[in-house]
Structure 1
Amino acid sequence: MSDVRLRFAPSPTGYLHVGGARTALFNWLLARKEGGKFILRIEDTDVARSTQESVDAILDGMRWLGLDWDEGPFYQSDNFPLYKEFVEKLLAAGKAYKCYCTAEELEAKRERALQEGRKPKYDGTCRELAGEQPDKPYVVRFRAPQEGVTAFDDLIKGRISFNNEELDDLIIQRSDGTPTYNFVVVVDDASMGITTVIRGDDHVNNTPRQILLYEALGCPVPRFAHVPMILGADKTRLSKRHGATSVMAYRDMGFLPEAMVNYLVRLGWSYGDEEIFSRDELVEKFSIENVGRSAGVFNPDKLLWLNAHYIKTGDPIRLAGLLLPFLAERGVDPTAGPDLAAVVKTLQERARTMLELADGAVFYYRQEFDYDEQAAAKFLKPEVATLYEALLAKLAALPHFSHDGIEVAFKEFCEEQGIKMGQIGPPVRIALCGGTTSPSIYEVMEVLGEAETRRRLERALAKLRG
């Protein structure tokens, strides 16, 4: 076991977003690859917006993707005494100070700086203030260095430098006593021994401030890797207007977790020209250095292609288990019919999603169903009745009602009747499933079984005879 420790730290103000899921995946993969620990931390200090419903949605999304965590989930809201302790340490060491400027004064300073063409950073009014002002509310600011450079080697973007004179004296504690984001992140990562931080590149500008806080607290600075954002097809940041952005929405749309994981990891990371990876292969081959510097573009068609691959090659028994809730939505009870795994086998070659798989499976479990009007008008002619009768007799003589036996029977039947498969195939499909589109007739009959196959053919024959 190595000393490598990574974390995923979502805010519980909504569902698990596709971008957040990819960040979690990269952290999980690197932790698994390097034999380290993957920690889950819920950043719920925004009490007004944080909800238990969002926490549950995030945990459900993580579990669905198979991103198991080694420690946690930890909640920032449990750590307020610790944050208060660290604020006091910085104040006592002169590395932080109390700022008594009002919101109105700060806004006036900001507007004046903008009018004068200066960066609207805090001007340090209270930085060297002598004595306390016990009757006035205050925030606590970090005393940032005003000269020099803060730089770090980003594992994805390379060397990044910031002039300290551009950085503000960051507020680390608000006037109501609550700590701010940049401060609690540093305290948490330091106290949890986080060695590598992989996060979205919208955090790049936070990094120099956080590095200075690590140094002020006397804590080791972790390695940083900032992942480019995910864009929609129009090259703007991925949002609801591009389609679903919630990971669990894709589950409900019939996508498999392995397809989602495979797609998300390839959305920015590459390994030669390979497209499809098992989870073990991802752990073996993943490296943060192979994550690209440019934004990934979310392509629903590519995800659909991957999902179709995983359905096609999936274990029918597992797929059958995953299919149950989708069948329940359609009012189908698969216990009252053929073996569901056998049904899946006949459908998985063509299905792209679990929704399509469920739709395709319905006819197997319907005792009564309507025939497609256009198909019936075209193929269920009066002369088909005699073909149905002859076919029923042919099938009844089969010693074994199996795929191969059924196929042989149909070939012999066509020869005996002097017809082609195209003349008997569509009427049989209509009788079995209600339309002319279905898996192989031989597969369908084998799965339905002899008794149900006969019942459906006899039902169609009865309808033809009025």
Structure 2
Amino acid sequence: MSAVSRFAPSPTGFLHIGGARTALFSYLVAKRLGGKFLLRIEDTDRERSTQEAVDAIFEGMAWLGLKSDFAPVYQTQRFDRYREVIAQMLAAGTAYHCYCTREELDAMRAEQQARKEKPRYDGRWRPEAGKTLPPIPDGVPPVVRFRNPVEGDVILDDLIKGPITFANHELDDLIIARADGVPTYNFCVVVDDWDMGITHVIRGDDHVNNTPRQINILKALGAALPQYAHVSMILGADGAKLSKRHGALGVMEYRTMGFMPEALLNYLVRLGWSHGDQELFTRDEMIALFDLSKVSSSAARFDMEKAYWVNHQYLKVTDPAVIEPEFDWHLRRLGVDPANGPALQDVILAQRERCRTLAEMAEKSLFLYADLQGYNEKDAAKHLTDEGQRLLAELRAELQLVADWSTPALHKAVNRFAEVRGLGLGKVAQPIRVAVVGMAVSPPIDQTLALLGRERTLARLDAAVAWARPRAQA
């Protein structure tokens, strides 16, 4: 039987960073075993589930490249199947109707708490040999409860946490269908995993207590049990519960911040898992090396600075052709048409050493695609002086004669200009930067001028001289 894993979010909000890590782990397990990965939308909570959240999940998964091998499954489209299984369980005696009212259940809970007992359903409607059930009350629609075993234990051999034992007598009879006929989460999950042949369930450790109940339902149905792995939570770098200030953001917010999807996956895979001292992994390496038995059972810590570092390393070594579509997206967000300037891959090569994110790269590359909106006040005061504007005017005349507008030719021209005047390159390059970029920071000046092009360079040198001359004379 081939491996099938699933990621099964509830569409009550955006795809957050913890969910993305769980999805990644599930995806990697399936791919390493040569199996399939499935996306399932668990939308039985109809009051809280929204189409907006569904769309956000699809968008986040698509951006991360975690592609489902099947058409997405929606639980709300499977109600007929759930009712069919419930009818079978009622007929087999593994489920039963319970007519307790809300008031009775509240009173039951209050009495148990007064006796310092764990609140739980007391089984008053559970059929037993020789037991007389209460008379069925008029006008009370029943729920359906699973007849949980009362003897023995459920032993969960968790692939991350190791063996965990649950005593059956500690588990009460779970409601599997509400009074309005809507099946409950724990029941739907079981039927879905059974029908879809799920062999590996990887999910957050907040589901650990659901697992023994789900195992017992699977056993009652005669279904094969999947292997379970419960991933520990993610904390902030300070050890506190992850919040927005730590990085608990929607996945697509990381796109807006300038992360590459592969870089974000690279960071997430290292939250709780490692392979020696290796920090950077290609997707193929993740698939080949990932092993749930090497995932820590302790909470992972999210360090935003480390995430930025990983993203920067990825930008520095990745083929610019892979980065180009995301860089294009960021420029367009800034209102820039990437066709109105140099080739994006050339800009990526020039900028990636000094930019940790694509958002930063796009901001620092605006001068290549859009008109300057003025000069940095401090940089202009320092470099667009009387001497600076004279140098720019002279350099402009020499650059106009450069026939081959390329990085090597411009490097030679600017260096020769500085040498002839006995100036260090910085004394020349900084006024040029302010003139053509608007500030004193850019890639190497020869690359900057080559990317900007002859026409824009000469026009901006003219504009800077015109701007600086009256100020120098004042």
TM-score, normalising length from structure 2?
Answer: 0.94
1:13 counterpart residue number = 12
2:132 maps to 1:133: no
1:332 pairs with 2:331? no
Out of 417, 428, 440, which is 1:413 matched to? 417
- Following the alignment from structure 1 to structure 2, what is the Cα–Cα distance between the partners of residues 369 and 120? 67
1:317-466 to structure 2, matched below 5 A, reads 317-466=321-470
Which residue of structure 2 aligns with residue 79 of structure 1?
Answer: 78
| Aligned positions, number | 465
Task: Find the aligned partners of 2:397 and 2:240 in 1 and give their Cα distance.
Answer: 64
Aligned mates of 1:10, 1:121 — CA distance in 2: 28
SS at 2:156 equivalent: strand
Distance (whole Å) between structure 1 residues aligned to residue 173 and residue 323 of structure 2: 55
Q: 2:250 aligns with which of 246, 251, 255?
A: 246
Query: What SS class does the counterpart of residue 355 from structure 2 fall into?
Result: coil
For 2:407, the aligned partner's letter is H
Q: Work out the CA distance in 1 between the residues paired with 2:419 and 2:340.
A: 36
Letter aligned with residue 30 of structure 2:
A
CA contact (8 A) 2:242 2:248 kept: no
Matched, 1:262 2:266: yes
Q: 2:215 aligns with which of 185, 208, 211?
A: 211
CA distance in 2, matches of 1:164, 1:311: 52
Return the letter of the residue paired with 2:40.
R
Task: Report the secondary structure of 1:277's partner residue.
Answer: coil
Q: Is the 8 A contact 2:98 2:144 kept in 1?
A: yes
Deviations along 1:10-68, one digit per CA (max 9) or x if unpaired, are 11111111111111111111111101111111111111111111111101111110001
SS of the residue corresponding to residue 418 of structure 1 reads coil
**Cα distance in 2, alignment partners of residues 77 and 413 from structure 1:** 73
SS in 1 for 2:440: coil
1:270-349 equivalence runs, <5 A: 270-349=274-353
For the residue of structure 2 that corresponds to 1:197, the secondary structure is strand
> What code does the residue aligned with 2:196 have?
M
Aligned-partner Cα distance in 2 for 1:49–1:463: 59
Q: How big is each residue's C-alpha offset from its partner over 1:95-137, in whole Å with a ceiling of 9 and x where there is no partner?
A: 1111111111111111111111222111111113548737332
> Alpha-carbon deviations, 1:244-294, whole Å to 9, x = none?
421111111111101111111111111111110000000110111111110
Percent of matched pairs sharing the same residue: 52
Q: Equivalent residue of 1:401, what SS?
A: coil
Question: Could you tell me how far apart the structure 1 residues matched to 2:379 and 2:297 are?
Answer: 54
Alpha-carbon deviations, 1:190-236, whole Å to 9, x = none? 11111111111111111111111111111111111111111123433
Q: Distance in 2 between matches of 1:415 and 1:98?
A: 94
CA contact 1:333–1:365 (8 Å) conserved in 2: yes
Give the secondary-structure state (helix, strand or coil) at the position aligned to 1:383.
helix
Q: Secondary structure at the match of 1:225?
A: strand
* 1:387-438 Cα distance to aligned partner (Å, 9 max, x none): 2233233323434222122222222222211222232221111111111111
Contact 2:156–2:164 (CA under 8 A) maintained in structure 1: yes
Unmatched tracts of structure 2, length 5 or more? none
Q: Give the conservation status (yes or no) of the 8 Å contact 2:124–2:133.
A: no
For structure 1, which segment, 131-140 or 64-73, has the greater mean C-alpha deviation from structure 2 after superposition? 131-140
2:5–2:200 Cα contact (<8 Å) kept: yes
**Higher deviation after alignment, 239-248 or 436-445:** 239-248
- Alpha-carbon distance in structure 2 between the residues aligned to 1:3 and 1:103: 45
Detail structure 1 runs of 4+ shifted over 4 Å in the superposition.
129-132
Pick closer, same or farther for the CA change 1:68–1:292 going to 2, 3 Å: same
Alpha-carbon distance in structure 2 between the residues aligned to 1:131 and 1:218:
31
Mapped to 2, the partners of 1:43 and 1:464 lie a distance apart of 64
